[in-house]
Amino acid sequence: MPQMAPISWLFLFMFFSMIFILFNMMNYFIYFPLTSSSKKLNKINTTSMNWKW
């Protein structure tokens, strides 16, 4: 069974590294956070509880 040349291993490493980087960049830039729901979360109803001793 023939062995692979080191240049072939280097090419495969660079190829899969570029695919990994591109996949992560696509996932990072495609995500759109919803701003309308985050504004609703800021309105938290807080009622002050004064203890009457």
Q: What is the pLDDT of residues 3-43, one digit of tens each?
A: 767 788 889 999 999 999 999 999 999 988 776 655 555 56
Give the pTM.
0.51
Cα distance between residue 37 and residue 47, in whole Å:
22
